[in-house]
Amino acid sequence: MAVQLFILKLMRISKMKKHIFLALLSLASVACSSKGLDGQYNRIDQTAFEKEQGMSSGLIVANKGTQVTLKNSWGDVALSAVEKDKKMVVQYNNQDAFLMEQKGGVITLTDVDNPSQAYKFKKD
């Protein structure tokens, strides 16, 4: 009987280790994937007018989040991103244009002059 109890305890410990390992592995995976801003994003929540005119339809983020390209039907706009006060700020001609935030696979660009104006992009 003592051997059976010992085996049961070992099984419980190994199950706990397995669950702890899997939990840590999933946290590490989420942390690694969420830190990478680079990639292509498509605009979500566009107004009908913006969609029709092809305004800000996509976003390309490159070079570890420092190069940003805003895609429009009439041409792409090259922007840069810098960190200010622990926030990512997207600039156009060295002037602050947007605050850039990432939550999961969605990037939000919020107009610095008009914070009620925000553009959301979802990663491909």
- Each residue of 28-44: pLDDT tens digit? 434 444 457 899 999 99
* Vertex 95: Cα angle to 90 and 99 (nearest 5): 30
- In this predicted structure, what is the pLDDT of residue 36? 77
Buried/exposed code over 81-115 (b: 16+ C-beta within 10 A; e: otherwise): beeeeeebbbbeeeeebbbbebeeeebbbbeeeee
The answer to whether 39 and 124 have CB atoms below 8 angstroms apart is yes
Nearest-CA neighbor of 99 among 78, 120, 75, 76?
120
Residue 23: DSSP 8-state: H
Q: What is the mean pLDDT of residues 17-36?
A: 43
| Predicted confidence (pLDDT) per residue in 65-118, tens digit | 999 999 998 899 999 999 999 999 999 999 999 999 999 899 999 999 999 999
Q: What is the mean pLDDT of residues 6-24?
A: 51
- CB count within 10 Å of CB 77 equals 13
> From 3.30.1330.30, 2.30.29.30, 2.40.128.50, 3.30.300.30, which CATH number describes the 37-123 domain?
2.40.128.50
**Residue ranges covered by each domain of the chain:** 1-35, 37-123
Q: Does the global pTM surpass 0.75?
A: no
Half-sphere exposure in the Cβ direction for 12 (13 Å, CA): 6
- In this predicted structure, what is the pLDDT of residue 51? 87
Interatomic CA distance for residues 81 and 92, integer angstroms: 9
Half-sphere exposure in the Cβ direction for 99 (13 Å, CA): 13
